[in-house]
Amino acid sequence: MFKSLTTEQAMRYNRQVVLKKVDLDGQEALLNASVCIIGVGGLGTAAATSLCASGVGNITLVDFDTVEVTNLPRQTLFSERDVGEAKVEAAKKRLSEINSECHITCVNAAFDEALASVIKNCDIVLDCTDNLESRDIINELCFANNRPLVSGAAIRFEGQLFVAIPGQTACYGCLRTLFSSVDLSCVEAGIFSPVVNIVGTYQALLAMQLLMGMSTVPTNALLTFDGLTHEWQQWALPSNTSCPVCENNAGKQKTTTDKE
């Protein structure tokens, strides 16, 4: 059932509501939205914090891991007292303190095809995982269930973001064909804490803009960030009609870069 903003909520989110691109309609779109965040690490905690604080009504957290002391420098939603606790439960506890009106659902399990129902019951998916196998499965399930996907990744001082909309844009599988299959982890290569938080927060930005129907979200393009040179770049994807996931949808739409 569609929920309207209460007077108290309109006042709480006033700084967003006064923006012409948001207004009451945009804030109500967030209130009624259901976002699935897969992976509650550096990317996922940053994204969840921003989405919850900004007024998203429903968030599902998917992760099987527990909080470790080595997570704390970059997974800023957690504290020392959370070490040893399931990440989804520790995150829910903290998010509820940030915004008690946000409904948080925890799925304490590894993500695979058996959890496809999670994607079916959300409006948008944020891929905050750290391995290619999970990313491929998530991409396939998003396209099979017609759910927009916002994918983020960060390693060393580098970050990247990719938005896929089934039936309209290229998918993550199209992007994967352009790169080698090396699958380094942060344990092996390292990660600079601010970079992963920047990328995770940017995932939240893109997700909220999609939920509110903004047309400035970049599609058919890879966004990259270099934390050493402080440069953002946008790379247009070539057409790839042989992709087995999205078939001929890849490359049909032009890269979206318009400014309203």
Which residue would you say has higher pLDDT here, 113 or 85?
85
The CATH label, of 3.75.10.10, 3.40.50.2000, 1.25.40.10, 3.40.50.720, for the domain at 33-236 is: 3.40.50.720
Interval 142-151 mean pLDDT: 96
Does the global pTM surpass 0.75?
Answer: yes
Q: What is the pLDDT of residue 115?
A: 84
Which residues, including other chains, have CB under 8 Å from residue 222's CB and lie 6 or more apart? 160, 161, 162, 175, 234, 235, 237
What's the rounded mean pLDDT across residues 13-28?
97
Q: What is d(CA 123, CA 142) in angstroms, rounded to the nearest whole number?
A: 10
Q: Are 157 and 228 in contact (CB under 8 A)?
A: yes
253: closest CA among 169, 136, 141, 138? 169
Task: Return the closest-CA partner of residue 63 out of 52, 53, 75, 73.
Answer: 75
Work out the pLDDT band at 76, boundaries 50, 70, 90: very high
Provide CB contacts within 8 A for 60, sequence distance 6+: 34, 35, 36, 37, 104, 105, 106, 107, 118, 121, 122
pLDDT in tens, 179-192: 765 565 666 678 99
Task: Give residue limits of the domains in the chain.
Answer: 33-236
Q: Are 122 and 147 in contact (CB under 8 A)?
A: yes
Phi/psi of residue 204, nearest 5 degrees = -65, -40
In a 13 Å sphere around the CA of 228, the CA atoms on its Cβ side amount to 5
Q: Supply the Cα-derived Rg of the chain in whole angstroms.
A: 18
At 240 the pLDDT is: 67
